[in-house]
Structure 1
Amino acid sequence: MELSITQEDAGHTAEGLPLYIFTLCNRHGMEVRLSTMGGSIACLRAPDRHGRLADVVHAEAPDCGIHLLPAPGRALHRLPWHAVPLVEDASVGLRLVSPGPQSVVATYVLDEANGLSLHCHAPAAAQATLSLRAAFNMAGEGDAGKQLMMVRAGQVVPAGAHEQDVAGTAWDCRSARPAEELPGQARYLLDPDRGENAALRLSDPDSGRLLEIFTNASSIRIGPGDPPTYFWLEPLMPASDGCLKLRCGAT
């Protein structure tokens, strides 16, 4: 199996603009499909502890893709982006540029360690925030509630509430706990002293699949799907230099 990137047509927008899907593969069989609609992750096929692949992304979840916050006019995740494939000796990638005056540049890279990196910046909106929303079910299908979530954060802002400490509450995910125990949507304020440790880990005990998120984001939004067949995750990164890595493994 070789490093590869392929392109296929994915229809058109309501305005008639073309859409494409780019498929990135590494030598270990990991496959990532990226859509030019909003720069979203359309598929991520990752191996379990026995090497069996499954798509762990729920691409139909609402609002997936890259966001610039506050949104200037029409939201970027609902617009087609321009794409340029990238091929190196040990990685394949895709550079995406958003339409409009903001010119958000987002570069995805899939490496040989089953890591998918995203580096993004918006020179014209350096004081804003960039985010990537994606929805995951590490089993590939079925109820995601029994999957274990760890978030390296001592404080949280629940939806519709004020900032609070997680200690002694159902929001405390500093040790892995079943995702179904979370009371609802929230924004976790990531510990600034986490160093090179993962900001978030999501694992499926049955398959052994593990997702780790490394990022320079200051916070991450989390919420359950409806029905709970996935959990959506949205790191909030500085628009001047947003960095994110999704690393898939198995235990």
Structure 2
Amino acid sequence: MKSVTLLRSIFTASLLIPLAATAGQATRESFGHTADGQNVDIVTLTNSHGMRARVMSYGASLQSLLVPDRSGKLVDVVLGYDTLQGYLDRRQYLGATVGRYANRIAHGKFTLDGKTYSLTLNDGTNSLHGGTKGFDMQVWKVLDVKSGPTPSVTMEYVSPDGDQGYPGTLTVKATYMLSDDNQLKIAYVATTDKPTIVNLSNHTYWNLGGEGSGSVMDQTLMIPGNDITPVSDAASIPTGEIASVAGTPYDFRVAKPIGRDIRDGRSQQLLFGKGYDMNWVLSRKEIEPRVVARVEDPHSGRVMTVWSSKPGLQFYSGNFLDGTTVGKDHHIYRQGDAFVLEPQLFPDTPNHADFGSARLAPGDIYKNVIVYRFGIDQAAK
């Protein structure tokens, strides 16, 4: 029964509403300057249905994404700011590319090829999303902007040897593509000149009802993962255990509202994270791209399926949005007003042999291709 429900959920997302056709376009303009005078560009990608993505070179970040509802109305489903200054004033990873290592590394230390490396600490005693100045805080170089059937932008950042404590010069490219069938694809590619560790992902805060529309707790989520990697305390470092989701609030194998079990005080993991903030085990190694999550907003009918080949998926339910963030159009973002889905390696993988490997060697190519497919469920109410 669960497999039938899962298949029905996946294929429902392919139902799209046609809109007035226009040519796929990519345009580039300045979005402002950093405190040290660096220019930040923003590239607007528009497909033939009018769907529009805006990507800025600060953090190679998704600044906005307009998606149609069941009546064809376009609404921005990405939390963020109207101007660059909001992103500069407060580090929240809104829409950002995170790395070199997405998620946490315990005590900011790992050993590679017999040598121990110490990273910058920015999450208590741990290193989070690359350290004190990760990829989300860098101005990326815009390499290419293309109009056409699939408008796209490619950006590059070269992280020098020793950056935030990581070994090797890492060259990273991030390409955003908006296809004619309402798919937004983000392709991360990285190479290095000496052995290092890499785990890149995207940290967009999503609300399929529209940013600023309120809580996402009644939006339904499916994650086809049988297990999670539990954490030991509020620092969110994995214990190394692989634990089943069966009989727990973490069981999203059959779609359910995000908020249905979020207040279950019997779950110590929910207490640690003040809500969902956990890595789901989707596989024990990288496999062919497949659905790693499906979200549906019952009010607008918008459906988003997320595809990736990575073995893990971090799901975060916006627990630390505390009402002090004033985003686009003066909207106040509060707890539970968005969710984050990050396809990735497992957190703290370099310190857990059973989690696999995050090692990248010279001559090898790191890839993480994330696809967000948008559609409409006409039956949703």
Structure 1, residues 98-146: CA drift from partner, whole Å, max 9, x if none?
Answer: 1433221111111101011111111016642111111100000211110
1:52 aligns with 2:73: yes
Q: Which of 209, 218, 229 is the matching residue for 1:139?
A: 209
- Look up the match of 2:156: 97
Kindly provide the CA deviation profile for residues 137-156 of structure 1, in whole angstroms up to 9, marking residues without a partner as x.
00002111100011111111
Query: Separation in 2 of the partners of 1:19 and 1:86?
Result: 15
Q: Following superposition of structure 1 onto structure 2, how do residues 1-251 of structure 1 map, counting pairs within 5 Å?
A: 1-59=22-80, 62-64=92-94, 65-70=96-101, 71=130, 74-87=133-146, 89-101=148-160, 102-124=170-192, 127-140=197-210, 141-159=213-231, 160=236, 162=239, 163-180=242-259, 181-182=261-262, 183=270, 184=275, 185-191=277-283, 197-225=290-318, 226=321, 227-236=335-344, 240-251=366-377
Specify the code of the residue in structure 2 equivalent to 1:173.
Answer: F
Does the CA contact (< 8 Å) of 2:144 and 2:154 recur in 1?
yes
**How many residues were matched structurally?**
251
Q: TM-score if structure 2 supplies the norm length?
A: 0.62
Bigger proportion of residues as helix? 2
Query: SS of 1:198's equivalent?
Result: strand
Runs (4 or more) in structure 1 with deviation over 3 Å come to 158-163, 191-197
How much has 1:233 moved relative to structure 2?
A: 1.8
Inter-partner Cα distance in structure 1 for 2:146 and 2:173: 17
Aligned partner of 2:55: which letter? Answer: L
Return 58-67 or 3-12, whichever deviates more.
58-67
Q: Flag the 1:67–1:88 CA change in 2: closer, same or farther, 3 A.
A: same
After superposition, give the CA deviation of every residue in 1:149-168 in whole Å (9 maximum; x if it has no partner): 11111111245364311011
Partner of 2:331: none
Contact 2:23 2:149 in 1 (8 A): no
Q: 1:229 is aligned with what amino acid? A: D
Deviation at 1:236, TM superposition (A): 1.0
Question: Is this contact kept in 2: 1:58–1:136, CA < 8 A?
Answer: yes
Amino acid across the alignment from 1:67:
V
Instruction: Compute the displacement of 1:28 (Å).
Output: 0.5
Distance 1:119 1:24, change over 3 A: same
Distance across 2 between alignment mates of 1:120 and 1:139? 28
Q: Which amino acid in 1 is paired with 2:33? A: H
Name the SS for the 2:154 alignment partner.
Answer: strand
Code of the residue aligned with 1:216 in structure 2: it is S
Aligned partners of 1:228, 1:58: CA distance in 2, in Å?
12
Residue pair 2:100, 2:135 contacting (<8 A) in 1 also = no
Q: Is the 8 A contact 2:54 2:65 kept in 1?
A: yes
Gap regions ≥5 residues in structure 2 = 1-21, 82-90, 102-129, 161-169, 263-269, 322-334, 346-357, 359-364
* Larger CA deviation: 141-150 vs 56-65: 56-65
Counterpart contact for 1:48–1:208, Cα < 8 Å:
yes
Separation in structure 2 between the aligned mates of residue 79 and residue 12 of structure 1, nearest angstrom: 12
TM value normalised by structure 1: 0.92
Distance in structure 2 (CA, Å) of the matches to 1:220 and 1:120: 16
The residue type equivalent to 1:190 in the other structure is L
Rounded to whole Å, the distance in 2 between the matches of 1:8 and 1:88 is 14
TM-superposition CA deviations, 1:65-112 (whole Å, max 9, x none): 112233277301111101134326421100010143322111111110
Report the Cα distance in structure 2 between the residues aligned to 1:158 and 1:224, rounded to whole angstroms: 16
CA contact (8 A) 1:30 1:45 kept: yes
| Identical counterparts, % of pairs | 27
Contact 1:154 1:191 in 2 (8 A): no
Pick the structure with more strand per residue.
1
Does the CA contact (< 8 Å) of 2:149 and 2:180 recur in 1?
Answer: yes
> 5+ unaligned residues in a row in structure 1: which ranges?
none
What amino acid maps onto 2:225 in structure 1? A
